[in-house]
Amino acid sequence: MSTEDKEAQEDELLALASIYPEDEFKRAETTQGGEIRVCLELPSDFRIFVTGGAAANLKNNGFEDSVCFLPPIILNFELPPDYPSASPPMFTLSCKWLSAIQLTAICKQLDNLWDENRGCVVLFAWIQFLKEETLEYLHIISPLELKINGQGKQNCKSLIPRKEDLDSCGESDTAEGEALDKRAIQDVNSLSSLIRDILDFDQAQQKKCFNSKLYMCNICFSEKLGSECMHFKECQHVYCSACLKDYFEIQIKDGQVHCLNCPEPECTSVATPAQVKELVGEQLFSRYDRLLLQYSLDLMADVVYCPRPNCETPVMQEPGCTMGMCSKCHYAFCSICKMTYHGLSPCKITAERLVALRDEYLEADEINKHFLEKRYGKRVIQKALEEMESKDWLAKNSKLCPHCGTPIQKVDGCNKMTCTGCRQYFCWICLSSLSRGNPYWHFNDPSSVCFNQLFQGIDVNNDDLENED
């Protein structure tokens, strides 16, 4: 190796290390060489797709998506002793989404660039070509159809623009094989793995870009790096993680797990479970996960819960069947009244349900009334109406004995009452129990609230007064 070549190589490698970050250029430790990872600048809304027979093994029998980044083109190189004075760099070119024919075309163009710059360092020119001209050189536009080796013949005319490259692409398998450059490697096993690699890389790069930018949080009004923030995927609104953490924790503790939406007014974007887990920690996320499942089950008409307080396991109910069978405790219950399953017998109704049933029946139309009568029994419905009418009348026209609770109606007479049940004397005004020895003292005692109120509320007949005179 001449001194001039050695110095030129060293200067070029040092220059590359100063221009590109470590994740783009990595120098080899034992040889004069390294690895360069080139990410292309894609047009906005760049789309990729797989269709036809090539998609037969995919679950959806096809695929299409929009990406901002594609996995890099990787240039591995080693500098021979007589570079750059005589020999070009030895290299391999690998990529996941470019086919072997496309990579072959790029290898030939790198050779051409060396021929044009023979005697000078060429790595920087290669990198600039890969970064800025690859898409145009290969005539790649959106949407890009993904292919791998063995997934049908490539259209050489659309992929290799130069005449000599067009001539090298034969129609037979042998001619196509001879046209491929051994330095060109499509580093992927299947279309499904290719799609997964592309989407994973795109997501990682978008997160990397997000983390490096500054954003204003509209909750605390502080400007913070994206690495300290979270954005909602649907609306792209950004808030700092600290504010969202407090907001989510309050909502989860209150049981409002379906309201973890973007704080922006009138915005309906909702945080993903992964985002919630990242912010609130394992314990609260377990509560969130459990309540979210319960909320989802509550929306399903064919799901009921086991009525046993220590169980409450969700139970799938067969259409048209009122019996539920708990898979955990094996309790058979009626899904309507939540009591032990009673077959075709009417549901037993509790006192708490009586008022609601009466109101529901009175407000129902003829079809729903017939349904309620069939569910609970017509006799039960009639009894509920009669009992509730009686209770309503008693509540308006009677008072309960302070000793035994018997309803007492006052028709006429003074305010000293005698219970028909336990014979206890009591005051109709204040419902105080009265002394059996002198029940009227309550109305004659100046300290009593009912002083001189023995005949309070009684209508005096004027004719009776005249007769007394």
Question: CB neighbours of 435 closer than 8 A, spacing ≥ 6?
Answer: 425, 441, 442
**Catalytic annotation present for 267:** no
Q: What is the DSSP string of 8-66?
A: HHHHHHHHHHHHS-TTTEEE-SSSSEEEEEE---PPTTEEEEE-GGGGTTSTTS-EEEE
**C-alpha distance from residue 179 to each of 115, 166, 167, 176 (Å):** 20, 10, 10, 5
DSSP state of 189: S
Distance (Å, whole) CA 207 – CA 215: 14
* Structural contact between residues 67 and 200, judged by C-beta atoms closer than 8 angstroms: no
CB 326 within 8 A of CB 308: yes
Q: Given 414, 419, 427, 430, which residue is catalytic?
A: 414
Closest C-alpha among 37, 49, 36 to residue 140: 49
Measured CA to CA, the distance from residue 401 to residue 428 in angstroms comes to 9
With H, G, I as helix, E, B as strand and everything else as coil, classify residue 381: helix
Give the H or E element holding residue 364: none
Whole-angstrom CA distances from 408 to 131, 134, 390, 434, 437 are: 97, 98, 13, 16, 22
Contact predicate 415/456, CB 8 Å = yes
Block residue for tokens 């034992």: 30
Q: What are residue 336's phi and psi, to 5 degrees?
A: -90, -55
CB 146 within 8 A of CB 195: yes
Q: Catalytic residues, which ones?
A: 414
